[in-house]
Structure 1
Amino acid sequence: MKPHYFLAIVIPDDMKKAIFHEMKQHHLPFKKFTHPEDYHITLAFIGDAEERSLEEVCARLEESLKMIRSFPLRLTSFGTFGLPASPRIFWIGTDEPEELYHLQSITVNICTKAGFKLDERPYRPHLTTARKWNVDQAYTPVAAPKWKDITVNEVALYETNRLEEPKYTKKWSCLLNETRED
């Protein structure tokens, strides 16, 4: 089975620990929980790809990301995809800053120019934490805590290794511009 690839925002380690701790406290009956090292916010899912095409995307992204400043982002809420009573995906939403959509747009444009066919559904930024509701009892929404802001300052290319845990391996990354005009 060939690996799949995606580009995503890297979540800082301290926030990964906070998310993992929060998920443990809720004791939600999902079949599978995301390994804390796999927490990320996807910008573009590429799928199967040739190494040359991935290198081209990374080189173009690196050039473009030099111009993008790091920015704050807040995790804001819990949400689900799938049936409301038995969700398929449990996720954490964001405050959806304009900079996030700009970064995602740049990423998608570069991937598209490199010949990748990407998902055309509207972008819904989120961080997946669990999958497959695993009981007959209906899911009841839970409130998210007040998270501290994180600084979005790194974009990475990840490779999916479905048989391993954690299942995502960082293959390349680039830091956003950290300079500030005060």
Structure 2
Amino acid sequence: MEQKRLFWAICLPENIKRKLFGLQSKLREVPADVKWVEQHNFHLTLKFLGDTRASQVRELTNAVSHSISGTGAFSLELAGIGFFPGPKRPKVIWAGVRGEVEKFKQLHEKVEEAVARLGFTDHSNRFSPHLTLGRTRSLRGSAELVDRAALIAKDLEIIGKIRVDSISLIESQLTRKGPIYTTLVSLGL
């Protein structure tokens, strides 16, 4: 039985990805032990599904399409830099999301409910809108990275504005060089 590693996401325009890469480049100047997200892989995750039977793609698409129908487009801004779970022991470095965040959260809920009806019921993480820039592999250099992020954040206003008018089901193939993302389906809002 063929399996695919899947997630629902909001894809970003290339100009925003370039701006995020520029921000990431300033953070990379610190010799911290971080696995940085590659520029072409930047996205806003709505729901990570994990290993899924390939035969379920159509069913997932139909369920989510029905659930999000009529949601309507909305706008988000990427701004700020932060860390999960926090700056003392950073595991994830992120860019913040603001703007019509309530609509983003409602869209997440609609996707969550649709996939839950198909058995994807992992609610282990509270939804916190963000864009992952990188993940630490160890704490080496993390204090310097946090300090650098604070300096950059002082002068950082808005990284970019995004008009969200569709979501995508993406397959993530893990390789030694990093994940390869393939968009399987895009659904308009």
TM-score, normalised relative to structure 1 = 0.85
In the alignment, the residues of structure 2 paired with residue 120 and residue 137 of structure 1 have an alpha-carbon distance, to the nearest angstrom, of 26
Task: Spell out structure 1 runs of 4+ moving beyond 4 A.
Answer: none
Secondary structure at the residue paired with 1:117? coil
Alignment check: 8 A CA contact 2:95 2:133 kept? yes
Count of residues in correspondence between the two structures: 176
Q: Please state how far the C-alpha of 1:62 moved relative to its aligned partner.
A: 2.1
2:187 corresponds in structure 1 to: 174
Alignment check: 8 A CA contact 1:45 1:119 kept? no
Q: Please state how far the C-alpha of 1:137 moved relative to its aligned partner.
A: 5.9
Q: Structure 1 residues 57 and 124, CA, compared in 2 at 3 Å: closer, same or farther?
A: same
Secondary structure at the residue paired with 1:135? coil
Secondary structure at the residue paired with 1:49? strand
Q: Please state how far the C-alpha of 1:134 moved relative to its aligned partner.
A: 5.8
In the alignment, the residues of structure 2 paired with residue 18 and residue 136 of structure 1 have an alpha-carbon distance, to the nearest angstrom, of 24
User: What do the CA deviations read for 1:113-162 (whole angstroms, capped 9, x no partner)?
Assistant: 01112233321011111111563461324214423321011211111111
1:180 corresponds in structure 2 to: none
In the alignment, the residues of structure 2 paired with residue 121 and residue 22 of structure 1 have an alpha-carbon distance, to the nearest angstrom, of 27
In the alignment, the residues of structure 1 paired with residue 113 and residue 87 of structure 2 have an alpha-carbon distance, to the nearest angstrom, of 33
Alignment check: 8 A CA contact 2:168 2:186 kept? yes
What residue identity is the alignment partner of 2:163? T
Q: Please state how far the C-alpha of 1:84 moved relative to its aligned partner.
A: 2.4
In the alignment, the residues of structure 2 paired with residue 30 and residue 94 of structure 1 have an alpha-carbon distance, to the nearest angstrom, of 25
User: What do the CA deviations read for 1:20-41 (whole angstroms, capped 9, x no partner)?
Assistant: 1121123243421101111111
For the aligned residues, what is the CA RMSD?
Answer: 2.2
Give the gaps of 5 or more residues in structure 1: 177-182
Bigger helix share:
2
What residue identity is the alignment partner of 2:118? A
In the alignment, the residues of structure 2 paired with residue 121 and residue 86 of structure 1 have an alpha-carbon distance, to the nearest angstrom, of 18
Alignment check: 8 A CA contact 1:37 1:166 kept? no
- Listed as ranges, the matches of 1:135-174 within 5 Å are 135-136=140-141, 138=143, 139-140=146-147, 141-142=149-150, 143=153, 144-163=156-175, 164-165=177-178, 167-174=180-187
Structure 2 residue 56 is the aligned partner of structure 1 residue 56: no
Q: Structure 1 residues 120 and 137, CA, compared in 2 at 3 Å: closer, same or farther?
A: closer
Q: Please state how far the C-alpha of 1:166 moved relative to its aligned partner.
A: 5.1
User: Percentage identity across aligned positions?
Assistant: 26
Q: Please state how far the C-alpha of 1:64 moved relative to its aligned partner.
A: 3.3
In the alignment, the residues of structure 1 paired with residue 33 and residue 45 of structure 2 have an alpha-carbon distance, to the nearest angstrom, of 21
Q: Structure 1 residues 135 and 14, CA, compared in 2 at 3 Å: closer, same or farther?
A: same
Q: Structure 1 residues 25 and 136, CA, compared in 2 at 3 Å: closer, same or farther?
A: closer
1:44 corresponds in structure 2 to: 47
Structure 2 residue 14 is the aligned partner of structure 1 residue 13: yes
Alignment check: 8 A CA contact 2:166 2:188 kept? yes
Structure 2 residue 113 is the aligned partner of structure 1 residue 115: no
Give the gaps of 5 or more residues in structure 2: none
Q: Please state how far the C-alpha of 1:57 moved relative to its aligned partner.
A: 1.4
What residue identity is the alignment partner of 1:61? V
